[in-house]
Amino acid sequence: MKAVTLRPDLVRAPARVADVDLSRPGEFRRPGGRELFLPEGQVWALVRLHGLPVGMVSAADGSGPDGLWRSVVNAAQGELASQVARHLAADEARAPDAGRPTPPCQLPRLHALREAPAISVIVASRDRPELLRRCLCSLLRSDYPDFEVIVVDNAPADDATESLVRRAFRGRVRYVREPVAGLARAHNTGLARARGSLVAFTDDDTLVDPGWLSALATAFVRDPQIGCVTGLILPTELETATQVVLECLGDYAKGYTPCTWSLSEPPDEPLFPFTAGRFGSGANMAFRTDVIRSLGGFDPATGAGTPARSGDDLLSFFEVLHAGHKLAYQPDAIVWHRHRRTPDAVAAQVFGYGVGFGAYLTGALARDPRRLYALLRRLPGGIRFVMSRSRARSNDPVAGWSRNLTLLELRGMAYGPYGYLRGRLTSGRA
């Protein structure tokens, strides 16, 4: 696929990514861990308050770490002032007495740990042992008391992944090989072997936050009707222009406010529940094990490694809602994703998103053709909503450039049904 030319006037400069907490002055941490470091130059920082994510800010200062910290704080006080104020107000509301309030992040975490359901974490991988090593190391630093890790080696070209798991993670990580390519198929293979009452999924090119599993479990424990939980996805690095563009266009981050969706209490959104992409992404999702098994797992005609390219996560979110369960987004369940670095990744990812969305809708209709009426009934309102957003962005200097990518995504959506049908044939032969 032809690479997209990255216009330098529309792309923010690459920067180091840092994790900071306003309650711990002067500390910069690397994504996905507890390691301290001293960034230089431009920094893109996740801002937390007492461990809870508030938002992202960009800052720079040439006078050293102290000056950079002041720049981050000033940016947070300017861009994230209302969010920080809400967190401080929540601190005061939860304070047990007039003394120092208990940080709000500690309350749900302690509750989850008292009722910690066993979690099976499934990581599907294909011929990327070094990325997988980093991912597994971050997982094993989790603060959760009861979890297992299952690596599914999907149609490997060699034994490098198996050798890594058996040599470096013996006794701590279970290894399973799935010979047929396809992310959904690999996830189903791991799901069949999961022992936990909850099952969480992430990719081999991620680093998970130490509190990731605790945050996921908190949502499930809080509401028994929740069948699926997704979380916040942030970049591990923004060192190339391509990575910056993918972060801007990829729609990884879904915001910093917890959300819950259900068919019984639908939001005021014209295309709900067909806009499954806004619920989360497959690199950071978890299910009640009995719920996802009752739905038949993931559709093997979808996902990376198939002609449909993606859409396996979207279809699972959609089916969870249609089965009568709630779906929750938990922003403090954080996963850090390593975006691809080369320019050809932009066109490939945008086209792939379109293909996956078209494939997901086709899969949803194939499972129950009666859903077509519900989709058609929502289309007029959805079209008006999209057009109003387009008019609002008409003065955006990026609009002309991103319009080309929108057309590329629409081409992918048009191809999606064909990709899904090809995936069905391939899956059937497999």
Give the side-chain half-sphere CA count within 13 A for 260. 12
Summarised one tens digit per residue, pLDDT across range 320-365 is 999 999 999 999 999 999 998 888 888 888 899 889 999 999 999 9
How many whole angstroms separate alpha carbon 120 and alpha carbon 190?
9
Average pLDDT over residues 207-227: 96
pLDDT of residue 408: 86
User: Range with the lowest mean pLDDT among 87-96, 246-255, 348-357?
Assistant: 87-96
Residues of the chain with CATH 3.90.550.10: 107-239+251-339
The pLDDT value recorded for residue 11 is 45
Q: Place 94 in a pLDDT band, splitting at 50, 70 and 90.
A: low
Most confident by average pLDDT, 5-14, 204-213, 239-248, 253-262: 204-213
pLDDT above 70 coverage of the chain, percent: 85
Q: What is the pLDDT of residue 75?
A: 93
Mean pLDDT of 31-53: 90
Which token pair is 72? 């981050």
Residue position matching structure tokens 């499934």:
122
Question: What is the pLDDT, as a whole number, of residue 250?
Answer: 63
Can you give the pLDDT at residue 124?
98
Residue 406 has pLDDT above 90, yes or no: no
Q: Is the pLDDT of residue 213 over 50?
A: yes
Specify burial of residue 184 (Cβ count, 10 A radius: 0-12, 13-18, 19+): buried
Band of residue 13 on the pLDDT scale cut at 50, 70, 90: low
Compare 33 and 153 and report the one with higher pLDDT: 153
277 has a pLDDT exceeding 90: no
Mean pLDDT computed over 247-264: 86
Confidence of residue 384 (pLDDT cuts 50, 70, 90): low
Tokens, residue 206: 């991620």
The reported pLDDT for the residue numbered 101 is: 41
Confidence of residue 47 (pLDDT cuts 50, 70, 90): very high
What does the pLDDT average to over 419-424?
95
pLDDT band at 382 (very low <50, low <70, confident <90, very high): low
Question: Which CATH code fits 107-239+251-339?
Answer: 3.90.550.10
Q: In sequence order, which residues have a C-beta less than 8 Å from that of residue 119 and are 6 or more positions away?
A: 144, 146, 147, 148, 196, 197, 198, 199, 200, 213, 216, 217, 286
Residue (of 402, 426, 407, 420) closest to 351 by Cα position: 407
> pLDDT confidence of 381, banded at 50, 70, 90?
low
Give CB contacts under 8 A, 24+ apart, made by 68-73: 68/28, 68/39, 68/40, 68/43, 69/20, 69/25, 69/26, 69/28, 72/20, 72/43, 72/45, 72/47, 73/22
- Of residues 288 and 2, which shows the higher confidence score? 288
Ramachandran angles phi, psi of 14, nearest 5°: -55, 150
What's the confidence (pLDDT) of residue 244?
84
pLDDT at 412 over 70: yes
pLDDT of residue 83: 87
Q: So what's the pLDDT on residue 248?
A: 77
Reduced to 3 states, what is the DSSP secondary structure of residue 188? helix
Q: Is 90 exceeded by the pLDDT of residue 103?
A: no
| Lowest-confidence segment of 56-60, 281-285, 291-295, 405-409 by average pLDDT | 405-409
